[in-house]
Homo-oligomer: A and B are copies of this chain.
Amino acid sequence: MCQLLSMNCNSTASIQFSFTGFSERGGHTSDHVDGWGIAFYEPTGSRLFIDDKPAYESPLARFVKGYEIKSKTVVAHIRKATQGEVGLANCHPFQREWLGQTWFFANNGDLRNYYPELSGPYFPIGSTDSERAFCYLMQVLSRAFKDCVRPPAWTEVAEVLFEAIAPITRHGNFNFTLTNGDALFVHCSSSLYEVNRQHPFPKARLVDVDVEMDLSAVNGTNDRMVVVATEPLTVDEPWTALQTGELRVYVGGELAHARVNPAVERFLVPTVSMRTQAKP
């Protein structure tokens, strides 16, 4: 299993504070030591940083924490491998281009015996269940909108995603974040929490490390953002849990859409390693 962190804002903001606490889970306050990644949508384009070293001791993670990158949307992930060896090709977020936009995907879950029929244009590079699910979702989207040469509206994407997710969730927990930088699509099977930040910004203290920050010092009165994570990152903010089967869409730093599929089950965390499971 893994840990997810995402942010969506109405203007650009820094993820430094949240990422500082989050990366502690990569080998210090938690044993998610099998790599990490963070994708930023900055004003002039997107970029991704990944490393297969534990986030807590990765030189690249130290660089990212010290380098103020302001972005509208961020997707981050720290990995504890269940399927697929430790390596760069298996680090999330994964990325693909669709209709001239970069899409990033990060997943926390464990899809057992999940080998969807992939016939293009998206094929996995690594060997995780997560990347197979990502390729499948992008394949479904690219077919649903096969006559488009411009990206469809997020409302249309959400509708297609909602239907495509349900069959996947039968294979196990499927918590994910998926984004093209404009809309942040989030699905919860077992564990995701959301916090909204806007004026007046509070002081917040991280759960994972003794750091407190006055969020009003780094944000303007018109800034608005939502942060979503596998577990709350701060002790003194009102984090709320997403429901099992819930797909949420965040646009412009706030919730734009939420819909629950009651058929989605929450799986108990497996007690045996999925690394031993046979390929079909």
Query: Which residues of A pack against B, CB within 8 Å?
Result: 42-50, 52, 59-60, 63, 67, 85-91, 96-97, 99-102, 119-126, 142, 149
Contact = CB atoms under 8 A, between A and B. Distances in A.
Given A45-B50, A45-B90, A97-B122, 10 more contacts: A44-B88, A45-B52, A45-B87, A45-B91, A48-B48, A49-B49, A63-B63, A97-B125, A100-B124, A100-B125
A96 B122 CA distance: 10
A146 to B, nearest CB: 8
Given A59-B67, A60-B67, A63-B63, A88 B42 contact: yes
B123 A149 contact: yes
Contacts of A87: 43-45
A53 to B, nearest CB: 11
A123 B100 contact: yes
Contacts of A142: 121
B88 A47 contact: yes
Given A60-B67, A122-B97, A149-B123, A50 B47 contact: yes
* Cβ-closest 4 pairs across A and B: A45-B88, A44-B87, A45-B89, A121-B121
Contacts of A119: 149
A38 B16 CA distance: 24
A224 B273 CA distance: 41
Contact of A99 (B52, B123, B126): B123
Nearest to A99: B123
